[in-house]
Structure 1
Amino acid sequence: MCELLAMSANTPTDLCFSFTGLARRGGAAGPHKDGWGVAFYEGRGVRVFHDPQPSADSRIAEIVQTQPIKSRAAICHIRQANVGCVGLENTHPFIRELWGRYWTFAHNGQLHGFKARPGVYRPVGDTDSEHIFCDLLNRIRAEYTPEVADDDLLRTVVAASAEYARQGVFNLLLSNGRWVFTFCSTRMVAITRRAPFGPARLKDADVTVDFEAVTTPRDVVSVIATEALTSDERWDDYQPGEWRMWQDGEVVACGRESIPRWSHPDPERL
């Protein structure tokens, strides 16, 4: 399956350690060789890298692994294509502007034959994922004005996510820079690191970091992923239908929706 990675932090933090582990799964330690992408928010701006090449072999991915780009919210995706050709236009995360903010979206799963409802937002590529993203933004734009309260917006995002998850496998990362929304259909894990910090070792690369040496006692950094990235830390499992809204490294809202338990004859193709 495709794999997801997100970060929410209360201070600008780099993603080098976690991204290094994820990148190894893109064609080396895993089969996700059909492209990758990452978006880092910096204030109201967003710094984006996409590459249709396997992340394990990508020179662009090397830059992301070695250059500490600091952000309080980031979203990353490595792809194993099931719908749509392998190409730059089909690499996640997808990005659109809504109400003066950049929204980013990454999806793991499949909704067979899904097409976005008509509206301002239209897909550029031919993935079901980008159709879902455009559908969600068209729905939000039709229902609200830019002054919408976060609570109302969250209700619509949760309801739409549950609706999509009843049509197929739908694991989601969504952000507008202020928060990171996550929805689990089949598999998702998270970890929150705070003082006292300690060391951690990646599962898929011979890399260890001592977080105490690179943080302050006030730092709170949460990482959300499809599968645990480290071998010596305890990650928290989401339940199917569970959603969490993250802001400044903390869960600010959460819940669980009733969705089918999807199976697939070849789970590596999700």
Structure 2
Amino acid sequence: MCQLLAMNCNTPTDICFSFTGFQARGGLTDSHNDGWGIAFFEDRGVRQFLDTAPSAHSKVAELVRSYPIKSKNVVAHIRKATQGKVSLENTHPFMRELWGRYWIFAHNGTLVDFNPELDGSYLPVGNTDSEFVFCWIMQELRKQFGSVFPGTEKLFAALTELSKVAGDHGKFNFLLCNGSLLFAHCSTNLTYVLRKAPFPTVQLKDQDVTVDLSAQTTSEDRVAIIATSPLTHNEVWTDMKPGTLSLFEEGGISKTADTVVGVPRGLNY
């Protein structure tokens, strides 16, 4: 399956350490060879890197790994293709505009028989189920709320209902972010760690790298790392409950809701 990674913080932070472990899962410690991508929010802008090469062997990934871009929200994806050819247009994460903000989306899974009508306001460029469902989500939010951001409460409730609809068609682990709000939906596998003072010394699982986080942070910092599976050995990672949508803000979880209506099509539990 594809690999997801996200970071949500209360102060701009670089993701170099976590990305070093994550990068290895694209062709070194795991067999995900069909491209990768990462998006960094910087104020209202987005700095995005995409590559069709496996992340473990990508020169672009090496640049990202060694370039300490500071951001409060980051979304990354390593692809194992199930729908659509290996190409830049099919490489996650995807980006669209809504309510005057960029939105970034990355998906792990496959949706079966999910074919709602798109009205043309958002259309996929590639041919993946992931970009298609992202366009549908953006379309439905715009149809429901028009041109004005509805507020966090109403948005979370709407995304909960949309996750129920799409999640009924298969595996639907996803990350969705607008630069301040990070939504994470667990269909089968997603885990997170919340880092705050006192910060420990941690070791990656996928690379022989150890770092003292206390040397890079302050007592006020809060950092949430979300991943398909834990990136480090000696931290307490929490498995998200399958069939839940969580909202991360300022380095912590502010909301969680159930999204299960039944056994999703295409999944065998």
TM-score (ref. length: structure 1):
0.95
Structure-1 residue corresponding to 2:31: 31
Distance 1:198 1:72, change over 3 A: same
Structure-2 residue corresponding to 1:132: 133
Structure-2 residue corresponding to 1:95: 95
2:71 match: secondary structure: strand
Corresponding letter in the other structure for 1:230: T
1:205 match: secondary structure: coil
Q: How does 1:99-178 map to 2 (within 5 A)?
A: 99-119=99-119, 120-145=121-146, 146-178=148-180
Note the residue ranges of structure 1 that are not aligned, 5 or more in a row: none
1:192-246 CA distances to partner (integer Å, 9 max, x unpaired)?
0000011110001011110000000000000000000001111001111122100
Aligned length: 266
**Identity in percent:** 47
Pairwise CA distance, 1:147:
3.9
8 Å CA contact retained: 2:187, 2:243: yes
Structure-2 residue corresponding to 1:73: 73
Between 1:35-44 and 1:246-255, the stretch displaced more is 246-255
Structure-2 residue corresponding to 1:188: 190
Structure-1 separation of matches of 2:43 and 2:82:
34
Q: Which one of 170, 184, 204 corresponds to residue 202 of structure 1?
A: 204
Structure-2 separation of matches of 1:144 and 1:117:
18
Structure-1 residue corresponding to 2:56: 56
8 Å CA contact retained: 1:228, 1:235: yes
Pairwise CA distance, 1:114:
2.8
1:38 match: secondary structure: strand
8 Å CA contact retained: 2:2, 2:79: yes
1:28 match: secondary structure: coil
2:172 match: secondary structure: strand
Pairwise CA distance, 1:253:
1.1
Pairwise CA distance, 1:178:
1.0
Note the residue ranges of structure 2 that are not aligned, 5 or more in a row: none
1:80-110 CA distances to partner (integer Å, 9 max, x unpaired)?
0000000000000000011110000000000
Pairwise CA distance, 1:258:
2.2
Between 1:251-260 and 1:95-104, the stretch displaced more is 251-260
Pairwise CA distance, 1:259:
4.2
Structure-2 residue corresponding to 1:216: 218
1:95 match: secondary structure: strand
8 Å CA contact retained: 1:51, 1:88: yes
Structure-1 residue corresponding to 2:248: 246
